[in-house]
Amino acid sequence: MTDEKVYRETAKLGAIDGDLFIEDGRVEAGEEKLTVSGRITCERDCELVGEIEADEVYSSRGDITIRGALNAKRIELRRGRLNVSGSLTGEEMRISKSLKVGENLKVDSARVGGSIEVLGNVDAGRVRAGGSFRVEQDSRVEKVDAGGSYKVRGKATSKTIDVGGTLKTGEVEAEEIDVGGTFSAEGPAQVDTIDVGGTVRLTGGKVMHKIDVGGTLKSSEFLEFGDIDVGGTVKLEDGGSGQVVDVGGSFTSDGPLKFTRIDVGGTVKLNSSSEGEDISVGGTVKARGDLTLINRLKVGGKAVIDGVLKASSVRVGGRVEADTIIAEQFIETSKLKTRNGAKATRIEIARRGDAVGPLVGEVVTLKDRAVADDIFADRIEVRSGCKVGNLYGRIVRIDRRCEVESVTYTEDLRVDNDVKIRNGTRKSEKLPEPPL
C-alpha cells in the first residue's frame, strides 16, 4: 500500500492503493477519476476535482469542495461544510455544518448539523438536518427529520416526515407527516396521518386516517379523508369525502361533501349539496343545495338551507330556514321558515317562536305566544297567547288568549273561553291532504 500526501499545493493523482492526506490543498483526478482504496483525510479547506471514489472521507476541521462526483462509503466532517458539484453516493454521512449537492444524492443515512441542498434527486434511507433540507427534484427518503424546513420541488416520498418548521412539497406520499409550523403540497397527497401545529394547504388527494391541525386546513382540490381535527378553520374548495370533521372555528366546503359527522364550534358553510350522518354546530349552518342527514342536525344558533333539509331530527336553538324540511323524528326550534313546509313525527315551536310555512306532523306543539301558519297533524296543542292559521287535526287543544283562523277536526276539540277563531270550527269525517 502506498499513501499520498498533499500539503498546501495542487497535485494530479490517479489510483491510490492506500490513504490520501490533504492539508489546505487541491487534488485533480488523473484521467478524470481519482480512486482511493482507503481514507481521504482533509485538514483545513480542501478541493478535489473530477470523479472521486474512496472508502472513507474524513475532516476534523475545514470545508471540502468536490468539483465533480463523490462516491464514498463513509463521510465525516466534524467542523466543516461539504460541497459537491456532481452527484454524491455513500452509505453513512455525518457533516457538522452544511451539505450541498449539485446533482443527485444517494445515501443510506445522512446527518447534517446545518442545511442540506440538493439540486437533483434524493434517494436515501434516513436524512436528518438540523436546519433546512431542500431538494429541487424528487426526494425518496424513508425517514426525514429536519429541525427547520423540508422543501421538495418535485415529489416527496417517505415513510415518516418530521419537520420543526415548514414542509413544502409538490406531490407527496407518506405514512406519517409531523410538522411544527406549516405544511403545503402543490400536488396531490397520499398520506396516512398529518399532524401540523400551524397551517396545512393541500391540493387534494387522500389522507386515510387523520388530519390534526392546530390552526388552518385548506384544500384546493377534492380531498378524501378519514378524520379532520382542526383548532381554527377548514376550507375545502372542491369538496371532499370522509368521516369525522371536528373544528373549533369554522368549516367551509365549496364542492359536494360526504361525511359521517361534523362537529364545529362556530360556523359551517356548505356551498354545494352535502350528505352525511350528523351535524352538531355551536353557531351557524349555511347550505346552498340540499342537505341530507341520516341522523341529527343540532345547531345552537341559526341554520339556513337553500334547498331541501332531510334528517332524522332537527334541533336548532335560534332559527332554521329551508325550502322544505323533512325529519323522521322531530323538529325543535324557536323560529322556522320554509317555502314548501316542514314535516316530522313531532314538531315543537318554542315560546315566542315563529313558524312560516305549513307544519305537518303527528304531534305539533306551539308554546306560549308563538306564531304559526297552517298546521296539519294528528294531535295539535296550541298554548296560551298564540296566533295561528288554519288547524287540521284529529285532536286539537287551544289554550286561552289564542287567535286562530279556523279549526277542522275529526275526533276531539278543546278550546278555552277567551280564544278567538275567526272562521269558526268544523268537525269532519276526513281531513284535507297535507301539502307534504
Q: Residues 268-321: pLDDT tens digits?
A: 999 999 999 999 999 999 999 999 999 999 999 999 999 999 999 999 999 999
- Condensed to tens digits (0 to 9), the pLDDT of residues 153-198 reads 999 999 999 999 999 999 999 999 999 999 999 999 999 999 999 9
* pLDDT of residue 415 exceeding 60: yes
- Tell me the C-alpha distance between 199 and 221, whole Å: 17
Across the chain, mean pLDDT equals 96
- Tell me the C-alpha distance between 145 and 133, whole Å: 9
Which range (1-5, 67-71, 305-309, 422-426) has the least confidence? Answer: 1-5
* pLDDT of residue 132 exceeding 70: yes
Do 296 and 276 form a contact (C-beta atoms < 8 A)? Answer: no
The full 3-state SS of the chain, as one line of letters, equals CCCEEEECCEEEECEECCCEEEECCEEEEEEEEEEEEEEEEEECCEEEEEEEEEEEEEEEECCEEEECCEEEEEEEECCCCEEECCCEEEEEEEECCCEEECCCEEEEEEEECCCEEECCCEEEEEEEECCCEEECCCEEEEEEEECCEEEECCCEECCEEEECCEEEECCEEEEEEEECCEEEECCCEEEEEEEECCEEEECCEEEEEEEEECCEEEECCCEEEEEEEECCEEEECCCEECCEEEECCEEEECCCEECCEEEECCEEEECCCEEECEEEECCEEEEECCEEECCEEEECCEEEEECEEEEEEEEEEEEEEEEEEEEEEEEEEEEEEEEEEEEEEEEEEEEEEEEECCEEEEEEEECCCCEECCEEEEEEEECCCCEEEEEEEEEEEECCCCEEEEEEEEEEEEECCCCEECCCEEECCCCCCCCC
Partners of 324 in beta bridges: 308, 341
Q: Give residue 263's pLDDT band: very low, low, confident or very high (50, 70, 90).
A: very high
- Tell me the C-alpha distance between 26 and 67, whole Å: 11
* pLDDT of residue 3 exceeding 80: no
- Tell me the C-alpha distance between 362 and 30, whole Å: 96
Please tell me the predicted confidence (pLDDT) of residue 271. 97
* pLDDT of residue 127 exceeding 90: yes
User: Which distant-in-sequence residues (6+ apart) come within 8 Å of 127 by Cβ?
Assistant: 107, 109, 110, 111, 112, 116, 133, 141, 143, 144, 145, 146
Partners of 29 in beta bridges: 13
- Averaged over 27-48, what is the pLDDT? 90
- Tell me the C-alpha distance between 22 and 11, whole Å: 10
Angle at 322 between CA 320 and CA 325, to 5 degrees: 90
Q: Give residue 12's pLDDT band: very low, low, confident or very high (50, 70, 90).
A: confident
Three cell numbers written together for 18:
492506500
Compute and round to an integer the Cα radius of gyration of the chain: 36
Please tell me the predicted confidence (pLDDT) of residue 2. 64
- Condensed to tens digits (0 to 9), the pLDDT of residues 384-399 reads 999 999 999 999 999 9
Please tell me the predicted confidence (pLDDT) of residue 6. 78
Q: Give residue 1's pLDDT band: very low, low, confident or very high (50, 70, 90).
A: low
Q: What percent of the chain has pLDDT over 70?
A: 100
